[in-house]
Amino acid sequence: MTANDAAYIDGIRPGQSHQTASALLERQPSKTADPTQAITNTGQFIERDSQSEQSVMVQMQSWAYGITPTLEQWHNDCLQLEIGSCLQLYRSVHELLKRIQQDLSYRGYTSAIGLANNRRAAWLLSYSDPDWALDYHRPIDERLAVLPIDLITSDPKQTFGRAIDNLHKAGVRTFAELFQIPASALGRRCGKAFIDWLSSARSTSDDARKDFIPPVEFNDKLWFGFDIRNSVELHPAMERLLGGLNHYLNNIQRVCDTIDWCLLRMRGEPHTFKVHSSEAHRSTQRWLELSLLYLENLTIPEDIEGLGLHVKNLQELPTQADDLFCDRRANESLYNLVDRLRNRMGLRAVNQLALRDAHLPEDSLYASYTNPESVKKYRAYSQRPFWLMQEPQPIRQEQGLLYWNGPLELINGPERIEDNWWHQPTSRDYYVARQDDGQPLWLYQDRHTRLWYVHGILP
């Protein structure tokens, strides 16, 4: 059993039984304005949830991948990070440990950290006093000395229960006492496997490394420790989570066009919302701007105490050649403007024109509020405008000449288009014409009625 701060104040300590903790909580003075009154406090006993622990471990592995690529889950409830190869990046062990502890604190976790030259010793030292656990300058035997040998039985990959019982009968309780026994005598009493285990824990190196293969999704969360009252209080947490996303996407060379925010409650279902981008990217600033625009129209629900960020369907980084002489950041992408408008006014508020593979021109052009799929472009020899008139405009004919806001001169064509023979037959001859002022038009003659129409304006 373990206890939170409030339970610790009421006298509950790690290792106590359920009955002892219940007795301590039965009658405690209430923290009311009248100290003469006492009420019965109720404590909540929560069973260990292995499934939730594994979900957290998966999340923490994605976070730790931003620190080092060499990491692994250890004994189902620990995370081992190999940091020796990345110390130059972080300048010192102390700076790296400071970042790790700060990141864990922001995520609402308390941590027990051990630092050693091998994984087994680091795990053992996580049970030690922090001053000893992190003082890697001291000899490993000296740092392990005060720990109880009962920790050896906590290693799920080993079965040394009988060996520990034999050592207890001989009065051996700590590693300091264990180290005083000659190896030959210890081998006869506990066996070779025990000697090998102890030697690996005292080793000054560890060659076993396992590079982590990150999942193709991102999941992280932060807890505040208090209820959120307005959206402004979410801004720092959003920026921190998006910074972690940016670091993660940089590491795995991916981008995304949709992110999912979760407003978390300690109890109950979270409130979720999506933020979309017209262009897949990994820019922290752009995602933050779009998220803040969405928050302006969002009423924060009650009992929100945390924020989560989930991103799935990560996309491969598009390959493009960089210009050595042009700074791309100098010109804002049109996608940025579209994204800001959509996140302020709604996804369907802004449309863009797109082409579909259809024979008739009026059927091939459409408005889309999502990213249009790539379609076949017009044939290279076709001269067609991208913008068509909502309805074709009739052209006046006089003495064999065409007039539409003045006389027209045919300069190219015809291009014959026929379709809908099974329903309403359509047959047209399209031409490019020019007005007196030089403006080119796209027009056609209906081959059934022999009438002429302007269908679009060419650039």
User: pLDDT for 221-268, tens place per residue?
Assistant: 888 878 888 888 899 999 999 998 998 888 888 899 899 999 998 888
Q: Tokens for 358? A: 């259809």
Is it the case that residue 31 has pLDDT exceeding 90? no
Identify which of 111, 100, 11 has the alpha carbon closest to the alpha carbon of residue 63: 100
Q: Which of 4-13, 349-358, 389-398, 435-444 has the lowest mean pLDDT?
A: 349-358
Other beta carbons within 10 Å of 201: 23
Residue 372 confidence (pLDDT): 52
The whole-number average pLDDT for the span 185-204 is 90
Over residues 82-140, the pLDDT tens digits come to 888 888 888 888 888 888 888 888 887 888 899 999 989 999 999 998 888 888 889 99
Are 407 and 401 spatial neighbours (Cβ–Cβ below 8 Å)?
A: yes
Dist CA 211 CA 207 (whole Å): 12
Name the fold adopted by 218-317+333-341: Dna Ligase; domain 1 (3.30.1490)
Residue 383 confidence (pLDDT): 67
Is it the case that residue 393 has pLDDT exceeding 80? yes
Other beta carbons within 10 Å of 256: 19
Q: Is the dihedral of CA 173, 179, 181, 185 positive or negative?
A: positive
Identify which of 175, 196, 195 has the alpha carbon closest to the alpha carbon of residue 185: 195
The confidence band for 378, taking pLDDT boundaries of 50, 70 and 90, is: very low
Give the chain's mean pLDDT: 82
Q: Which residues, listed in sequence order, are joined to residue 315 by a DSSP beta bridge?
A: 255
Over residues 299-352, the pLDDT tens digits come to 888 889 999 999 988 888 766 555 555 555 545 566 676 677 766 676 666 776
Dist CA 235 CA 292 (whole Å): 8
Is it the case that residue 374 has pLDDT exceeding 50? no
Domain extents in the chain: 71-201, 218-317+333-341, 383-457
Q: Which of 10-14, 77-81, 205-209 has the lowest mean pLDDT?
A: 205-209
Q: Is the dihedral of CA 120, 124, 130, 133 positive or negative?
A: negative
The confidence band for 42, taking pLDDT boundaries of 50, 70 and 90, is: low
Residue at 12: amino acid letter: I
Dist CA 444 CA 27 (whole Å): 92
Over residues 396-447, the pLDDT tens digits come to 999 889 999 999 999 998 999 998 888 888 999 999 999 999 999 999 999 9
The confidence band for 65, taking pLDDT boundaries of 50, 70 and 90, is: confident
Q: 143-178 burial, b for 16+ CB within 10 Å, e for fewer?
A: bbbebebebbeebeeeebeebbeebeeeebeebeeb
Residue 404 confidence (pLDDT): 95
Considering the chain, what percentage of its residues have pLDDT values greater than 90? 27
Q: 92-118 burial, b for 16+ CB within 10 Å, e for fewer?
A: eeeebeeebeebeebbeeeeeebbbeb
Is it the case that residue 67 has pLDDT exceeding 90? no
The confidence band for 279, taking pLDDT boundaries of 50, 70 and 90, is: confident
Dist CA 420 CA 335 (whole Å): 37
Q: Which of 99-108, 142-151, 213-222, 359-368 has the lowest mean pLDDT?
A: 359-368
Q: Which of 27-36, 72-81, 301-310 has the lowest mean pLDDT?
A: 27-36
